[in-house]
Amino acid sequence: SALAAIGIAQAAYPEKTITMVIPFAAGGPTDTVGRLFAQSMSNTLKQQVIVENVGGAGGTLGAARVARSAPDGYTIFLHHIGQSTAPALYRKLSYDAVTDFEPIGLVADVPMTFVARKDFPAKDLKELLAYVKANKDKVTYANAGLGSASHLCGLLFMSALQTDLTTVPYKGTGPAMNDLLGGQVDFMCDQTTNTTGQIKGGKIKAYGVTTKTKVESLPNLPTLDSSGLPGFEVVVWHGLYAPKGTPKPIVDKLVQALQIAGRDATIKQRLDDLGTDPAAQNRMTPEALRSHLKAEIDKWGPVIKKAGVYAD
Ligand code: MLT
């Protein structure tokens, strides 16, 4: 019968390559997290999990692609806090951030760093704040479009300073970092998964971290909260999703593969070096991701509306 055939197909899943959509350009922080987990999940699922970077519009183009993909388990989606800010930023989103996706689980919480090109004049956060205020029409701020984590951090920064800055949007903070290294853009707020290497290599200046506690792998960086931007906090949580309607037996296999990756020593070491770690096992569940996503939509919606920022 058809039901038996469906049952057999689900039991045999996966029988071919799985695509993990990353809604930002290759070489950025989301891509870094995605490829780490895709590699481990490939080993567990015994099928290649290949990454497809679908950048643009702050991650919403990638989300829209996944929302209309077949719910057969062969398309999955790794996105971050941007899944929760897009509903307030885009009034005409072509998808519903909650109901068009099947949550698999939380993946990692990544701190952000305030970084500038190497010869930016400010030597610490207080000087940076003063310099930006005094030169607000000159300085340029890089982000990855409305809906990106770098955009959200910038929005909070500009609200705190009561200053609007010229922002330069990229398809991801991978490309943005190239321009920061080349001095074509002045500063940005980006995740430790993308900035740690450049900070330690002395290629960019760093002023602080966006977490309330210091980041072990960047011990010399103060928290922004304690060094001039009281209350400033952004943690870039990441979630793994499938399209709505993906059958439960398939979702269960993806949850298991995610949790195995979360225990993988290589991934833990790599993420530790980059200022983060896998989400706890009990957060790598559909329920944990669904409730966190809803809580974050409720949290950031009013902040974005108050800032009066809309993408469309
Ligand atoms: C990226 O992967 O490029 C970043 O997540 C962009 C951002 O969200 O700032």
Q: Considering the chain, what is the average pLDDT of its residues?
A: 97
Q: Ligand 1, atom 2: nearest CA belongs to which residue? A: 30
Distance 13 CA to ligand 1 centre (A): 31
Distance 181 CA to ligand 1 centre (A): 17
For 274-311, what is each residue's pLDDT tens digit? 999 999 999 999 999 999 999 999 999 999 999 888 88
Strand, helix or coil for residue 112? strand
DSSP for 219-260?
Answer: TTPPBGGGTT-TT---EEEEEEEEETT--HHHHHHHHHHHHH
Q: What is the Cα–Cα distance from 77 to 73, expressed in whole angstroms?
A: 11
For 170-225, what is each residue's pLDDT tens digit? 999 999 999 999 999 999 999 999 999 999 999 999 999 999 999 999 999 999 99
Ranges of beta strands (E only) in 138-230 are: 140-143, 166-169, 187-191, 204-209
Q: What is the Cα–Cα distance from 161 to 141, expressed in whole angstroms?
A: 14
Tokens of 131: 């310099």
For 53-89, what is each residue's pLDDT tens digit? 999 999 999 999 999 999 999 999 999 999 999 999 9
Q: Ligand 1, atom 5: nearest CA belongs to which residue? A: 30
Strand, helix or coil for residue 306? helix
pTM over 0.80: yes
Given this model, what pLDDT does residue 158 score? 95
Strand, helix or coil for residue 163? coil
Phi, psi of 70 (to 5 degrees): -65, 135
